[in-house]
Amino acid sequence: MRNLLLILMLVVTTLAVAETPAEKGLAIALEADNRDKGWQDSFAEMKMVLRNRHGEESVRQIRVTNLEMDNDGDKGLTVFDEPRDIKGTAFLSYSHALEPDEQWIFLPALKRVKRISSRNKSGPFMGSEFAYEDISSFEILKYSYLYLRDELVDGIDCYLLELRPEYAHSGYTKSHVWIDKAEYRNQKVAYYDRKNSLLKIQRFQDYRLYLDQFWRAHTVTMENQQNGKSTTLYWDNFKFRTGLTDEDFNKNDLKRQR
């Protein structure tokens, strides 16, 4: 029996050594993705704080709903409640894996719905440091993966992966993602522009657990390393499995979102 256990341990060790960085990177990404499946739909409130390089702030109050889709990317609806000049602005996104995401925005001042071009993924979302592609749902097939090394982030033991976009018109050549080993949550993401220079760093803080399974960061900050600006999202009032359906994510209803 002892010899059998030793043989099994040797086999497991050999397989672990033989695992390539690409295989390990994909396995880690799959585990992180699988741990966040089954929430069905969600609602949350969010305060978006934009800061310029001088530290001056502007604040926006937002409501966000999402619908989990089987065999496709998720659907998301973002509605702005404040300030008054952008109240009623509504953004709808249908995320996909390799097919271009479908995105529309209703601008009350223009009184019309505008489709976001799939070539405009790198454009800033509502003047923030988040690009349109940053707010699409994460889909495994959108990227290739490479495990780089283990590394600490603020004392948290993480896997460091390199992701490269597999979809067209990305504003990034790659991103480095730190995923904690304990719960497989993003702790930090570094984005590199088309010149392969560091562009932005995203940080996730104040994670809280919902339904005994789903972790959500309540503070998410995107810091632009090139222009000195930043955007922080303060999330609150998460609710899951509220009964939302496809009908709640219809582009023809964007004008009526209040």
Domain segments of the chain as ranges: 21-256
Q: Tens digit of pLDDT for each residue in 147-160?
A: 999 999 999 999 99
Q: Tens digit of pLDDT for each residue in 59-93?
A: 999 999 999 998 889 999 999 999 999 999 999 99
Q: Tens digit of pLDDT for each residue in 101-147?
A: 999 999 998 889 999 887 778 889 999 999 999 998 999 999 999 99
| Residue 98 CB coordination number (10 Å) | 10
Distances, alpha carbon 22 to alpha carbons 27, 33, 144, in Å: 9, 16, 8
119: its two tokens: 């070539």
* Topology of the domain comprising 21-256: outer membrane lipoprotein receptor (LolB), chain A (2.50.20)
Q: Tell me how far apart the alpha carbons of residues 143 and 167 are, in angstroms, rounded to a whole number.
A: 8
Q: How confident is the model at residue 256 (pLDDT cuts 50, 70, 90)?
A: confident
- Report pTM: 0.90
- CB proximity list for 108: less than 8 A, separation 6 or greater: 86, 87, 88, 89
Q: Tell me how far apart the alpha carbons of residues 28 and 145 are, in angstroms, rounded to a whole number.
A: 9
- CB proximity list for 233: less than 8 A, separation 6 or greater: 46, 47, 48, 49, 219, 220, 221
